[in-house]
Amino acid sequence: MEKPMTAPIEFWFDFSSAYAYFASHEIEALAARHGRQVIWRPYMLGVAFKATGMRGLSGTPLKGDYARNDWRRISRETGIPFTLPPGHPIVALPASRAFYWIEARDPAAAVAFARDAFHAYYVEQADMTDPAVVAGVAARRGLDAEEVLAGMADPAIKEKVKAISEEGVARGVFGSPFVLVDGEPFWGWDRLAMVDRWLARGGW
């Protein structure tokens, strides 16, 4: 008898989310432990903020100071390199547009780009608001920077990022990282351990 198919885990995130950066180091291994694949879904967190009235952590009194300390603490605990870029947070629209242009051609390359984009921002402190810099990050995996740059400017790609962001919010996505497992929502890097248990036990 054929083994039933299991739905992929949806990994929603904004490239300017530090917690999503840490989650990006764990999500694939977590999914693999349970025979799942991951759909990476960058979206614009600002769309969620408009819907909820929330503010970003970095710009919220007290919470911002806590988060900056927490990110450094997570880095020390996990060994994942992390340096908060000057001017954080940014509007990471160029990276999201590049991701979806690449994904339309090679989904695996898009995931590799996402990892590289996170690394460029949180380790190298690259200016990921600059489309040329983002295209240069994509070129690290053999992609043509000029083609990526042109793709990011394609009106269809711009509309796709907007539509996916709105779709995410319509489905209840409001933070970063945000994980959907068989329709069950989990918000935050600190919920990955619960996601692991949920998959192991089949929910509760």
Question: Is the bond preceding 177 in cis, omega lying within 30 degrees of 0?
Answer: yes
Indicate which residue of 16, 17, 75, 165 is catalytic.
Answer: 17
Do 154 and 126 form a contact (C-beta atoms < 8 A)?
A: no
Tokens representing 38? Answer: 């991951």
- Tokens 């603490």 sit on residue: 73
Q: Is 96 a catalytic residue?
A: no
**Ramachandran class of 56: left when φ > 0, alpha when ψ lies in -120 to 50, beta otherwise:** beta
SS3 of residue 185 by DSSP? strand
Residue 179: exposure state from Cβ atoms within 10 A (0-12, 13-18, ≥19): buried
Q: Which are the catalytic amino acids?
A: 17
